[in-house]
């Protein structure tokens, strides 16, 4: 009988706790069913206002642009030739003036013939970049070009140049070979 009383008390206390949880609770959990959004405001478009001219500001007169200066005729000489008579004296025969060295032009493309120095070829692009940076640090115009091989692999070739004079390219080749302890080659430049 004692066990039945204890069981009834446990069931009664459980029912009280369950009742309080189900039917009473904090107000924070209740859902507010009224909207909190205010009604849409009524917007009225303003009427346009006509612009007014400011007062106490003088009118500005429009100026004509200045005329452009005349373009000189490039075919005519700037100064007219004046004839000045010089005394005639016999002078030793002089050699004709030396012509300025003109770079040789490729007849097919019209591009000046130039020379490049192939410093090295690498299968690794990282090694080619390292050598290019070393050459550039010494003041050379170095660059890298990829070249396919017969087996389908890519070789990274390091070049220096181009130089318009073959003699300058040969001198540069000798300098690079002595400085970097490499065997370089000279090729015609292909843009």
What are 16-31's pLDDT values in tens digits? 888 887 877 665 566 6
First to last CA, the chain: 111
pLDDT at residue 78 is higher than 50: no
Question: Residue 184 in contact with residue 135, Cβ under 8 Å?
Answer: no
- What are the sequence ranges of the domains in the chain? 118-188
Q: Which CATH class is domain 118-188?
A: alpha beta
- Residue 157: Cβ within 10 Å count: 19
Residues with Cβ within 8 Å of 119's Cβ and at least 6 positions away in sequence, in order, are 131, 135, 142, 158, 159, 160, 176, 180, 182, 184
Instruction: Judge residue 169's burial from the number of C-beta atoms within 10 Å of its C-beta, 0-12 exposed, 13-18 middle, 19 or more buried.
Output: buried
Task: With CA atoms as reference, report the closest residue to 164 among 110, 119, 104.
Answer: 104
CA dist 190 and 162 (Å) reads 9
What's the whole-model pTM score? 0.43
pLDDT at residue 59 is higher than 90: no
pLDDT mean across residues, the chain: 76
Q: What is the mean pLDDT of residues 59-86?
A: 62
In this structure, what token pair is assigned to residue 48? 């346009």
């Amino acid at each position: 009988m004692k066990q039945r009383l204890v069981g009834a008390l446990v069931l009664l206390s459980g029912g009280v706790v369950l009742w309080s949880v189900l039917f009473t609770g904090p107000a924070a959990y209740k859902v507010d069913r009224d909207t909190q959004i205010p009604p849409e405001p009524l917007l009225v478009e303003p009427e346009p206002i006509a612009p007014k001219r400011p007062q106490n500001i003088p009118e500005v007169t429009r100026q004509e642009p200045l005329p452009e200066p005349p373009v000189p005729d490039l075919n005519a000489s700037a100064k007219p030739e004046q004839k000045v008579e010089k005394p005639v004296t016999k002078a030793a025969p002089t050699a004709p003036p030396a012509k300025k060295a003109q770079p040789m032009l490729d007849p097919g493309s019209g591009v000046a013939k130039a020379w490049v120095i192939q410093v090295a070829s690498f299968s690794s692009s990282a090694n080619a970049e390292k050598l290019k940076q070393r050459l550039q640090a010494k003041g050379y115009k170095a660059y890298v070009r990829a070249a396919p091989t017969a087996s389908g692999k890519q070789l990274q070739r390091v070049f220096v140049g181009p130089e318009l004079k073959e003699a300058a390219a040969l001198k540069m080749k000798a300098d690079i070979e002595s400085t970097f302890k490499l065997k370089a080659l000279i090729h015609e430049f292909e843009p």
